[in-house]
Amino acid sequence: MKPTAPSIETTANHVGFSVNDYDAYKAKLAEIGAAIFFENAEEGQILADLPDGVRIEILTDPEQEAPIAFHHYHLSVPQAEELRGWYLDVFSAEAGERRNLPSALVPGGRVDFIPARGEPAKPSRGGAIDHIGFEVADMDAFAAHVESLGIEFDRGPMHVDAIGLTIAFFTDPAGTYIEVTQGLAAVE
């Protein structure tokens, strides 16, 4: 299914990865026809648009063991501080900052918030990055917490036997579609 919009036109602007080999991942981007529009080899950073409309950011950490790891989601929103507060409440995240922008720190990564420029970004659902995801240890407790905040699920928690996961979906106030899973760690 073709995305309704590239990620840069939606609230789910891009996803960032940390890699341990800058040259290897730059070559992989070239190999798949990605359009690199920003590069700082000295700092080990690349911003690129993939052929399917997904924007990614590569950050280099030569000390990291894994070849590639999730680093951050970057959401484009009108009220960055306010939405960060929402993520802090919903996901019990810690307040942070990166490059003078507000962040919500979660285990294994972060959600960074950039101010939307011009027209408000489109909701992510159907876009090149349809949704972002989080793993929880106890879906029942998380669902009760979310509902206590007055948030309604788009798709309530349901167990999918075929993949051994419990899955739920809801949407943040800016329009980013969110998947929450329980059991993903056991699948790996």
pLDDT of residue 41: 94
With pLDDT > 90 as the criterion, what percentage of the chain qualifies? Answer: 89
Residue 118 confidence (pLDDT) above 80: no
pLDDT of residue 119: 75
CATH of 7-187, one of 2.130.10.10, 3.40.50.300, 3.30.70.260, 3.10.180.10: 3.10.180.10
Residue 120 confidence (pLDDT) above 80: no
CA pair distance 44, 62, nearest whole angstrom: 9
pLDDT of residue 88: 98
Q: What are the φ and ψ backbone dihedral angles of 160, each rounded to 5 degrees? A: -110, 100
Burial 72-90 (b: 16+ CB within 10 A, else e): bbbbbbeebeebbebbbeb
| Mean pLDDT calculated for residue range 94-114 | 95
| Mean pLDDT calculated for residue range 127-136 | 96
pTM score: 0.93
What are the boundaries of each domain within the chain?
A: 7-187
Residue 187 confidence (pLDDT) above 70: no
